[in-house]
Structure 1
């Protein structure tokens, strides 16, 4: 059997482990909290009402927080953690990855420049035999019921896309891994090949959905709610303000994508889609309305707004949630940097960044709507994935 190490204990890990049952892989997990993990991980498939439609389970060979226990023999490494933690974890495990054999290093979600991050460790540690891969969209809607024991999924995408480098490894990755984790169990979720990772980096999924919705909630409700019960559902209570913000943010991203396509008409950017086109592709839906795509979704209705109780006893959006740390620093900031290189005005990205820096009490964007690249808040090591932090100086440096 091949040895696959799941890096991280996020919601997607609790889905991936059971779905790899009876695969070619012996599965282990690298986690900072090994004492909380069981040897068998269970997964429940729920419909929107909470009815259990199916149950799955998968076994773990090794559970460890010591990279030396896991990575020297790994054939596949799959990241299942928030995007903003990718680079930190890659730096920790890189010294232990086998340099003398082909090792597949991938993630269930390729937002934020995954190929740039892997290239970073390939250069630093001489890992020339790594094959890089990433999904364009997280395969399932999933959450944790009991950490290290049980997860829940509300279903999978109807179809997905993924990129590999080198490109000719796609069929192997698809046959050995990708086909196993959705299509085998649900009869859908086939994965198509994207010719490039840039389409994943500029995906109009989490990075435009989450940040525009959080700003929309602020505009409608203000900063706090008196009790948790009064907090609106993230998608089920989606409103017109949030839909307009998402549409405007999508326009900013579309202008960036179109400029890149114009610079490189010879490249296949067929997976650089606007929000509704991507939603119709991934769910085989016929939605033509942004608000409708959320409030009628059978897989999103159970998702709550990420809130915490503050010192005054009221509830507010969690400013340290991945909706900020992933989607601002490894999402909107990347798009803003590209827009600046392309001389594109991005009014909605700017509005979100100005709001986010107030919420997080940081310096991200200045009064002239330029990224504050010298700000300690952006320059904190590995905090942000802005292309210049990899040594890129132009858009051409970002093209794969």
Structure 2
């Protein structure tokens, strides 16, 4: 199989290395090919993954910035290492080079944020197959840009989202072999991926708990008021808000399940604690509360809060994706579906109002998604979908 890995972020080198080691031809499509080596690799810091082996390396077949050099012959296109708010831009650049008559697997390392809606909107009709991992397969980072990544911890179980949730093309097997997660991949669909507790379920409430009253001027010192690590040093207040937002998500899913009683995936436990244990299993050391669980998850230990260094200390980096992506591609999506099913979401509303002000956007106005910047949001209603059809995507 010829696989093109699109991106230049944390997961690019890792997925490209694993795909090549699994026996595939691999190209990396990136904006800055001059900064990339054809020999890429990653360090594995998870003793329960890959038999505890630490270093992996492979030489890919091509590194390029020109989609014409790799997309036409690709059997799989995997967007890995691209923030999800670039999905429209990426797909528009790839579209002229994708043969609609060919069965091409088009996937993403992050299936939330309406990936299937975006792909179908850009490509229209065709024989392509849309898929994605519901959550990134591992928490990861970059050791050397363009050359070496790092895996902090793998997912204990990985959901593979497909358009019908039935995986008619055996993508679980293909990805399981590439990721060395054979037997750990299970079925899901894109609607569940859009609503499953993920980055937008945790980053915004944590940051809201820390900086709800920030006036845009106050400078913080790293410490209790401004923890360095977003998960390992989560505060009791932020953990409480993660739990409250989780309750609102669960209520949305419950109401949606009543509108779609035949969707088995909507009957699963969407609570944050359940999702954390699903992803990381018994590596979570203390499950007595959300606060303790987040703090005691080894895969979370090294992720930092987004700050900008200024004179005298730090301030929140409102240009970071935790502020700019998790809102229009996450909380606003939740809110749109909540409006479809008539579920009130007071905390989600409060966080949207707070966050949109920080990034100088207007999405939510008087409890409705009618602000001047709503065109930037992933809202199923704007694709003409309803509570009865939102699971179907746009190619049915």
Q: What TM-score results when the alignment is normalised by the length of structure 1?
A: 0.89
State whether residues 201 and 245 of structure 2, in contact with CA within 8 Å, keep that contact through their aligned partners in structure 1.
yes
| Distance (whole Å) between structure 2 residues aligned to residue 325 and residue 235 of structure 1 | 19
> In the alignment, which residue of structure 1 is the partner of 2:117?
116
Deviation string for 1:303-323 (max 9, x for gaps)?
A: 11111235x564222212221
| Distance (whole Å) between structure 2 residues aligned to residue 273 and residue 29 of structure 1 | 35
Residues 3, 236 of structure 1: alpha-carbon distance in 2 compared, 3 angstrom cutoff: same
Which moves more between the two structures, 31-40 or 276-285? 276-285
| Distance (whole Å) between structure 2 residues aligned to residue 74 and residue 346 of structure 1 | 43
Gaps of 5+ in 1: none
| Distance (whole Å) between structure 1 residues aligned to residue 166 and residue 211 of structure 2 | 46
> In the alignment, which residue of structure 2 is the partner of 1:10?
9
Residues 144, 91 of structure 1: alpha-carbon distance in 2 compared, 3 angstrom cutoff: same
SS at match of 1:154: strand
> In the alignment, which residue of structure 2 is the partner of 1:101?
102
Aligned residues: 380
Spell out the pairing of 1:314-393 with structure 2 (5 A cutoff). Answer: 314-366=313-365, 368-373=366-371, 375=372, 377-379=373-375, 383-389=376-382, 391-393=383-385
> In the alignment, which residue of structure 2 is the partner of 1:190?
184
Deviation string for 1:76-134 (max 9, x for gaps)?
A: 000111111111101110110122321000111111112111211231xx4x1101111
Shift of the alpha carbon at 1:199?
0.5
| Distance (whole Å) between structure 2 residues aligned to residue 254 and residue 298 of structure 1 | 26
Deviation string for 1:28-59 (max 9, x for gaps)?
A: 111111110001112112269xxx96011122
State whether residues 22 and 177 of structure 2, in contact with CA within 8 Å, keep that contact through their aligned partners in structure 1.
no
User: Over the residues paired in the alignment, what is the CA RMSD in angstroms?
Assistant: 2.3
State whether residues 5 and 28 of structure 2, in contact with CA within 8 Å, keep that contact through their aligned partners in structure 1.
yes
> In the alignment, which residue of structure 1 is the partner of 2:278?
281
| Distance (whole Å) between structure 2 residues aligned to residue 21 and residue 98 of structure 1 | 24
| Distance (whole Å) between structure 2 residues aligned to residue 169 and residue 256 of structure 1 | 25
> In the alignment, which residue of structure 2 is the partner of 1:92?
93
State whether residues 131 and 166 of structure 1, in contact with CA within 8 Å, keep that contact through their aligned partners in structure 2.
no
Deviation string for 1:235-283 (max 9, x for gaps)?
A: 1111111111111111111111000101111221245621111112122
| Distance (whole Å) between structure 1 residues aligned to residue 78 and residue 187 of structure 2 | 18
Shift of the alpha carbon at 1:325?
2.6
Gaps of 5+ in 2: none
Shift of the alpha carbon at 1:183?
2.2
Deviation string for 1:338-369 (max 9, x for gaps)?
A: 11222221001011011102211221222x22
State whether residues 259 and 388 of structure 2, in contact with CA within 8 Å, keep that contact through their aligned partners in structure 1.
no
Residues 271, 110 of structure 1: alpha-carbon distance in 2 compared, 3 angstrom cutoff: farther
State whether residues 110 and 134 of structure 2, in contact with CA within 8 Å, keep that contact through their aligned partners in structure 1.
yes
Residues 271, 179 of structure 1: alpha-carbon distance in 2 compared, 3 angstrom cutoff: farther
State whether residues 199 and 271 of structure 1, in contact with CA within 8 Å, keep that contact through their aligned partners in structure 2.
no
State whether residues 248 and 345 of structure 2, in contact with CA within 8 Å, keep that contact through their aligned partners in structure 1.
yes
| Distance (whole Å) between structure 1 residues aligned to residue 381 and residue 7 of structure 2 | 27
Shift of the alpha carbon at 1:74?
0.6
Spell out the pairing of 1:157-172 with structure 2 (5 A cutoff). Answer: 157-165=155-163, 169-170=167-168, 172=170
> In the alignment, which residue of structure 2 is the partner of 1:57?
57
Which moves more between the two structures, 347-356 or 22-31? 22-31
> In the alignment, which residue of structure 2 is the partner of 1:45?
44
